[in-house]
Chains A and B, each alone.
Chain A
Amino acid sequence: MQFSRTKPPVPPNETGSANRNSSLEAKPLRDLVRSFIRHRSAVIGASLVVIFILCAIFAPLLTPYEFYTSTRETLDDPSAAHWFGTDDLGRDIFTRIIYGARISLWVGFVAITGSIIIGSFLGLVAGYYGKWQDSLISRLFDILLAFPGILLAIAIVAMLGPGLNNALIAIAIINIPTFGRLMRSRVLSVKQEDFVLAARAIGMKNSRILWRHILPNCWTPIMVQGTLGFATAVIEAAALGFLGLGAQPPQPEWGTMLSDSREFIQLAPWTMIFPGLAIMLTVLGFNLLGDGLRDIFDPRMKQ
């Protein structure tokens, strides 16, 4: 083989770069937005989520009533004055549901953010350092996963005492292993990549490698799982509320409202239907959005 030592006149601009490790390639934002808009269920999910977020933000503007004011019009049918009817204390259910969106979204957001931060940190340490750190942290996750989630949440709330904030802490704790394991598996594969070896060859400290090279390549699945986890957190918050362990009256929490409606199901089914619908639509919205995001970020997972 002969190699000519004459340099090419222009820098080579060979075309057709093969995208070999496509899951790691940073897609341009424009492409992501386009495939998002084309993904129908993602758009539906996102719309539902946006509607609930808007309701939560503008709750006082959407209704003339207060969520805690009782009236004499108890268990009224849905009407022009009370779109979703009233409950046994004469409170407007529509008002309580849009204020309830504040609570559910807040619980979902704070609890999931908390589990992502703690879970990712633990998963990162376990995956990167391996050895005893990995054994310790992985066993910790196993212990948490050995209990059914809601049972563990009940146990934690029972220890801390009922209340919205304690329910929130319980939900955050039971979701830690989901994110921790996801992060760990992701780190295990990313740390084998040549660019991490290259970072070490350059002389970088572990902290910089973790922060600048491993973490940015691990976010995508966490984001997808976070969206799906949001839905789970909303259900768990409602379940704890239903059991009387979460939000306390007069807080308009959807699960608590469902629980309160049990006695009137036959008399006034709207007291049960609308909070139930609210929970279902929120969960559906986040699930559709999460599934859509997964399809968009990781095309190999499709089907």
Chain B
Amino acid sequence: MVLLDVRNLQKSFPVYGGMFGKKTGEVRAVDDVSFTVEEGEVLGFVGESGCGKSTTGRTMIRLYEPTGGEVIFDGKNLFQLSAGEMRKTRRDLQMVFQDPFASLNPRQKIANILEEPLIVHGIGTAKERKEQVQELLHVVGLNPFHGERYPHQFSGGQRQRIGIARALSTRPKLIVADEPVSALDVSIQSQVLNLMMDLQEQFSLTYIFISHDLSVVKHISHRVGVMYLGRMIELSPRDELYSKPLHPYTRALLSAVPVPDPEAKRKRMILKGDVPSPEKPPAGCAFHPRCPHVFERCREERPVFEDAGGGHMVACHLMEKGG
């Protein structure tokens, strides 16, 4: 069953400049992105920094006001809900943040941080809530006495567990995890990732997992989407994407993953140039100035994001049927 259906999502930020601070342009952080998420699925987003993956995650749950498109979550069009209805819907729609040092209020005890979503959504009596907080602490591998402490008394990995517990507290249907492990040490990353996978099984959660780390995304996701310059360029089942990448950018990205074998001879695909400014995206395919297979059509016509067979979506003129 489709839990989340994102259609033509757009988000642009105005750019102010000039002498009187007038609007001089806009950054298209998310440019016409569409995808669906099945219930119980983990959908991973990868892309380099600034490609719009975090903005996509935040815009589709209306932490930023969208510029265009629509998001159908659980049968409701999120962008048409009133502020009050949206607040109620957030019960089913939680988020885990990247920076575990910034995402917890330093003046609140852990128990209060975890209880607050329950209070806000009017779940349970005071006593039930206290019990639930204890259970949440247990579920994410913390001790009951940790509830009486403040965030600064915890390490990064522990804080991220608290962030996950907070997201879990209302028993949401969908959790958007925005780079939940990239601020952590590698040894802690695997613990937190495994915790998230265990919780997904235990509570049959659905994740949208955003990361710039290809191996992390490969580890946790069922399907993976690749973003470049605010656009979704490829989206396919995980194994298919990692073994048979179709888009030239995805291939370049995958060839950059380090292989833990000093003898391995690899064919690296080195891209030339930099990512263009999202303020002035290139015409046609956003990737064409750097693409090794560029031809005339790429410069003029934006490729359509469509199925290249077996649910493997790609936006590239090379892959079009008969193309």
Interface residues of A (CB under 8 A from B): 1, 3-5, 7-8, 11-21, 24-26, 193-195, 197-205, 208, 212-213, 216-217
Check B107 against A14 for contact (C-beta < 8 Å). no
- Chain B residue nearest to A205 (CB atoms) is B87
Stretch at the interface among B17-25, B116-124, B246-254, B279-287: B116-124
- Chain A residue nearest to B218 (CB atoms) is A1
Instruction: Say whether, besides A202-B90, A203-B88, A208-B120, A16 and B155 are in contact (CB < 8 Å).
Output: yes
With contacts A13-B158, A18-B156, A26-B152 known, what are 15 further pairs, Cβ within 8 A? A1-B260, A3-B189, A3-B219, A7-B191, A7-B198, A14-B157, A17-B153, A17-B155, A17-B156, A18-B101, A194-B98, A194-B103, A195-B105, A197-B63, A202-B170
Per-position binary interface string of chain B over residues 200-223, scored 1 when its CB falls under 8 Å from any chain A CB and 0 otherwise: 000000000000000110010000
Q: How far is the CA of A20 from the CA of B99 in the complex (A)?
A: 11
Q: What is the CB-to-nearest-CB distance from B258 to chain A, in angstroms, rounded to a whole number?
A: 9
**B36 interface hit (Cβ, 8 Å):** no
Check B158 against A12 for contact (C-beta < 8 Å). yes
Instruction: For chain B, residues 142 to 173, give those with C-beta under 8 angstroms from any C-beta of chain A.
Output: 142-143, 150, 152-159, 163, 166, 170
- Chain B residue nearest to A219 (CB atoms) is B107
Instruction: Say whether, besides A197-B63, A203-B88, A4 and B190 are in contact (CB < 8 Å).
Output: yes
Check A26 against B95 for contact (C-beta < 8 Å). no
9 A-B residue pairs with Cβ-Cβ distance under 8 Å, sorted by A, are A7-B141, A11-B141, A14-B158, A25-B106, A26-B106, A197-B103, A198-B97, A212-B108, A217-B106
What is the interface residue range for chain B against chain A? 35 or more
- Chain A residue nearest to B189 (CB atoms) is A3
Q: Which of A8, A198, A204 contacts B103 (CB 8 A)?
A: A198
Q: What is the CB-to-nearest-CB distance from B268 to chain A, in angstroms, rounded to a whole number?
A: 18
Residues of chain A within 8 A of B219, CB atoms compared: 1, 3
Instruction: Say whether, besides A14-B155, A17-B156, A213-B105, A200 and B185 are in contact (CB < 8 Å).
Output: no
Residues of chain B within 8 A of A208, CB atoms compared: 120
Residues of chain A within 8 A of B159, CB atoms compared: 17
Instruction: For chain B, residues 56 to 106, give those with C-beta under 8 angstroms from any C-beta of chain A.
Output: 58, 61, 63, 86-91, 94-95, 97-99, 101-106
Check B61 against A8 for contact (C-beta < 8 Å). no
Q: What is the CB-to-nearest-CB distance from A128 to chain B, in angstroms, rounded to a whole number?
A: 15
- Chain B residue nearest to A195 (CB atoms) is B105
Q: What is the CB-to-nearest-CB distance from A129 to chain B, in angstroms, rounded to a whole number?
A: 14
Check A14 against B185 for contact (C-beta < 8 Å). yes
Instruction: Say whether, besides A19-B152, A201-B63, A202-B166, A12 and B191 are in contact (CB < 8 Å).
Output: yes
Check A25 against B152 for contact (C-beta < 8 Å). yes
Check B194 against A203 for contact (C-beta < 8 Å). no
Residues of chain A within 8 A of B97, CB atoms compared: 194, 197-198
- Chain B residue nearest to A19 (CB atoms) is B152
Q: How far is the CA of A216 from the CA of B106 in the complex (A)?
A: 9
